[in-house]
Amino acid sequence: MNDAAHDLHAPHFIGIGGAGMSGLAKILAVRGATVSGSDAKESETVRALRELGATVYVGHAAEHLPAGTSSVVVSSAIRADNPELVAAQERGVPVVHRSDALAALMGGRRALAVAGTHGKTTTTSMLAVSLGELGLEPSYAIGGDLDLPGSNAHHGAGEIFVAEADESDRSFHKYAPEVAIVLNVELDHHANYASMEEIYESFETFVGRIVPGGTLVVSADHEGARELTRRVAGREGLNVVTVGAAEDADVRVLSVAARGMTSEVTVELGGEQLAFTVSVPGRHYAHNAVAALAAGVALGVPADGLAKALGAYTGVKRRLQLKGEARGVQVIDSYAHHPTEMAADLEAIREAAGEARVLVVFQPHLFSRTQQLAEEMGRALALADGSVVLDIYPAREDPIPGVTAELIIDAARRAGADVRAEHEFAAAPAVLAALARPGDLVLTMGAGDVTNLGPEILAALADVAPAV
């Protein structure tokens, strides 16, 4: 097989186990490519790829690059001195960025790209599930697993391709969607954007990639999104549909009523009211569902059928995912790492929890993000009844002098939070188990390996008598 301008018949993925990379590898394997790759560690995702026929090595070494490799696929997280990347360059093997590979896979399909500082994975997942429920057999590439390992991507027989569009490294400039969603526009990714103006310019470029006659679905509630709408208004060949609770929204959210861990949503669309269920808690998830509804309608999907199908979405891994219950304490996993996401998830869980306490173990993600947003993160943690803050998860970054988790802890205390530091990652489960009492909800929160603590907290709860 071959895909557009890039030869992807025998691709090698460096970092194949990552959320974005593994999805592309899966689609290519299903399409018949000879897929290989490497990752830093063994994982369920790696094993799922092997079951599809991919050759996956653990660890990075030049000899892992197979003879006959047609191209090497990398993400922005891959360093220039990676031995497999160096070997590819020495052998003259073309190096393809993940976004270019995704753009090639989307070629010839009706592309729907979901962008925004946060909410992308959830909204893309909602569309993938609901369009599948309607029998439209979409292809999709998502930044997280829906249920099982490897469920972050699918090669469908239908004409629609739904993709999460990442703004962090400007890679979303590579896509040419028929419909694009912009959920919000906020300052983030400080290593790549020096100012809010640069972020606006980047999103304007993304909107400019929408095919002539295509549609931009954009929030009417977030000021950054409204500013983007003002900037692109009047562009020839661009249809703009605004969504939200604002009175001037084209698709207006009339109400979001909490029903435990679900929400009942009523919208006004095309002059008529439409009510449907969203099977995850929280106002922000309800608004994501409305954006998905508007985007589907822009592709020609009937609104009433799509609204009902959206109720089939029950969540994606790490987005308020229930990990289990022990001693009357529920443990829930949250990917939130930006202050807006943190506050939204905490507000959603607070609404669902009723009189129960909400406890959080938070792992800051990236030194640069902590440096810029520590104050806002601290204020978000004040929404919990108690918080334990771990050391910063560095991911791809080197430390920044003076930037530690203490910046967040100090800000949280100024906001009135009950917060404590825990520098020993392995000690956190016992700390949470000692704090929790029956009826509490415990959130593991952050974009790093804090997700691994959920099962350990449950095990610790089973061994330790709850606090009273």
Catalytic position from the list 34, 45, 69, 121: 121
What pLDDT was estimated at residue 317?
61
**Angle, vertex CA 145, rays to CA 139 and CA 148, nearest 5:** 100
What pLDDT was estimated at residue 145?
62
What pLDDT was estimated at residue 467?
47
What pLDDT was estimated at residue 3?
43
Task: Give 134's contacts (C-beta < 8 A, 6+ positions apart).
Answer: 301, 305, 306, 309
Q: What is the DSSP string of 351-382?
A: HHHTTS-EEEEE--B-HHHHHHHHHHHHHHHT
What pTM, to 2 d.p., does this model score? Answer: 0.74
Is residue 121 among the annotated active site residues? Answer: yes
What pLDDT was estimated at residue 464?
61
What pLDDT was estimated at residue 4?
42
What pLDDT was estimated at residue 2?
38
Question: In 282-312, which positions are buried (b, 16+ CB within 10 angstroms) versus exposed (e)?
Answer: bbbbbbbbbbbbbbbbbbebebeebbbbbbe
What pLDDT was estimated at residue 146?
59
What pLDDT was estimated at residue 108?
93
Over its C-alpha atoms, the chain yields an Rg (Å, rounded) of 22
Report the side by side order of strands in the sheet with 36-39. 55-58, 36-39, 11-14, 71-74, 95-97
**pLDDT less than 50: residues of the chain:** 1-4, 149, 466-468
Catalytic position from the list 84, 164, 167, 186: 164
What pLDDT was estimated at residue 450?
94
- Identify which of 368, 442, 380 has the alpha carbon closest to the alpha carbon of residue 412: 380
Question: What is residue 438's DSSP assignment?
Answer: T
Catalytic position from the list 34, 69, 84, 120: 120
Rounded CA separation 437/440 (Å): 6
Phi/psi at 444 (5° precision): -95, 120
Is residue 120 among the annotated active site residues? Answer: yes
What pLDDT was estimated at residue 19?
79
Is residue 325 among the annotated active site residues? Answer: no
Rounded CA separation 304/143 (Å): 27
Report the side by side order of strands in the sheet with 110-115. 153-154, 139-141, 160-164, 110-115, 179-182, 215-219, 239-244, 251-259, 262-269, 272-278
